[in-house]
Amino acid sequence: MQRQRTIEIIGVPSDLGANIRGANMGPATLRIANLKTKIEQQGYSVVDLGDLHVPIRESLESKILEEKYLSPISELCRNLSAITEGILDRGHIPLIIGGDHSVAIGSISGILRYFHKQDAEVGLIWVDAHADVNTPATSPSGNIHGMPLATLLGRGHDILTAISTKKLRPENTALIGIRNIDDEEKRILRETGIKYYSMRDIDEKGMFTVMREAIAFASNGTSGIHVSFDIDGIDPRYAPGVSTPVSGGLTLREAHLCLEMLSETQKLVSLEFVEINPITDVGAQTAHVTVDLILSALGKSIV
Ligand SMILES: [Mn+2]
């Protein structure tokens, strides 16, 4: 990503896609960890658009809870898709801060629409402990934060898949760091045709080789790459402040290497960091880790 460019931050304070509370406070904790100033120190101009409106759970009817907040999530994703599309239209870089991972349905739908207008394709790197390819038919919990990747590939609630008629191309989509996948989800993952690298693959090949391959897949025939980074991809020793921690995850250096290599491609067009949960954090450790990772994605190098 080139310097002197403008980054527009949009916060999405939603935990409606998860059954564990707290990810709605993620955007606030990143701002308190000095996100804007630290990005400016890297030579970018930064506009903080503030937070998207998300309804308070307790203000919603119980009927909406029973459908796992599908209607408010679809409304906020539709709004978010228009915002990310607009940021790209202005020639700026969207930085989406969540919020649970269901918000990616909105952000990435907007990105897909933008590239579709240019008659171009976009690649996706998705870092996560989970595969997020459950569908309403397979999800054991029904929580929408377990479904965003499937939804963007066209397999999900109709009201959510309708946000973008353009779908992700599986051959340009790579999932990294997975280690906790439901049985039915394993079948869907293989069916989708996306590229995936489990922690076992990272152990065997090393993060450098994994990222080289993933970047090649995401770059092939595309005009840009979006990164959707679920902080639970990192081992909870380093990032305890997430809603669904799974041990055996990425080390801090593996996570940085992933983003440093993505930055070096100069093909990153937008970024998203989700599932930061201050309720389960130790102090503000995970917020600071996330800000440091964002700086690596924006080109901060050790030397
Ligand atoms: Mn996720």
State residue 151's pLDDT score. Answer: 98
Tens-digit pLDDT profile for residues 247-281: 999 999 999 999 999 999 999 999 999 999 999 99
Fold designation for 6-297 = Arginase; Chain A (3.40.800)
Ligand 1 centroid to 4 CA: how many Å? 31
148 Cβ partners below 8 Å, 6+ apart? 17, 101, 102, 104, 105, 108, 132
| pTM exceeds cut of 0.95 | yes
Q: Is 232 a catalytic residue?
A: yes
How far is the CA of 20 from the CAs of 88, 228, 268, 276, 291, in angstroms? 32, 20, 31, 12, 23
Q: Would you place residue 303 in the very low, low, confident or very high pLDDT band (cuts 50, 70, 90)?
A: confident
CB atoms inside a 10 Å sphere around CB 119: 7
Ligand 1 centroid to 118 CA: how many Å? 28
25 Cβ partners below 8 Å, 6+ apart? 13, 277, 278, 279
Closest among 204, 221, 205 to 213, alpha carbons compared: 205
Q: Would you place residue 4 in the very low, low, confident or very high pLDDT band (cuts 50, 70, 90)?
A: confident
Ligand 1 centroid to 20 CA: how many Å? 13
- In the set 15, 51, 100, 101, the catalytic residue is 101
- In the set 145, 157, 256, 288, the catalytic residue is 145
Q: Which two tokens stand for residue 248?
A: 């055996």
Q: Is 229 exposed, middle or buried (0-12, 13-18, 19+ CB in 10 A)?
A: buried
Distance of alpha carbon 177 from the chain centroid: 13
Q: Give me the phi and psi of 143, to 5 degrees please.
A: -70, 135
- In the set 128, 260, 272, 281, the catalytic residue is 128
Ligand 1 centroid to 89 CA: how many Å? 27
**In the predicted model, is pLDDT for residue 3 greater than 60?**
no
Q: Is 89 a catalytic residue?
A: no
Tens-digit pLDDT profile for residues 50-77: 999 999 999 999 898 889 999 999 999 9
Q: Is 128 a catalytic residue?
A: yes
Distance of alpha carbon 165 from the chain centroid: 20
Structural domain spans, the chain:
6-297
Determine if the peptide bond prior to 98 is cis (ω within 30°): no
For the chain, give the mean pLDDT.
96
Ligand 1 centroid to 263 CA: how many Å? 21
Q: Is 132 a catalytic residue?
A: yes
**In the predicted model, is pLDDT for residue 26 greater than 80?**
yes
State residue 301's pLDDT score. Answer: 83
Tens-digit pLDDT profile for residues 180-220: 999 999 999 999 999 999 999 999 999 999 999 999 999 99
Q: Which two tokens stand for residue 272?
A: 């998203």
Q: Would you place residue 294 in the very low, low, confident or very high pLDDT band (cuts 50, 70, 90)?
A: very high
How far is the CA of 56 from the CAs of 72, 82, 156, 292, in angstroms? 10, 22, 24, 30
Q: Is 157 a catalytic residue?
A: no
**In the predicted model, is pLDDT for residue 1 greater than 60?**
no
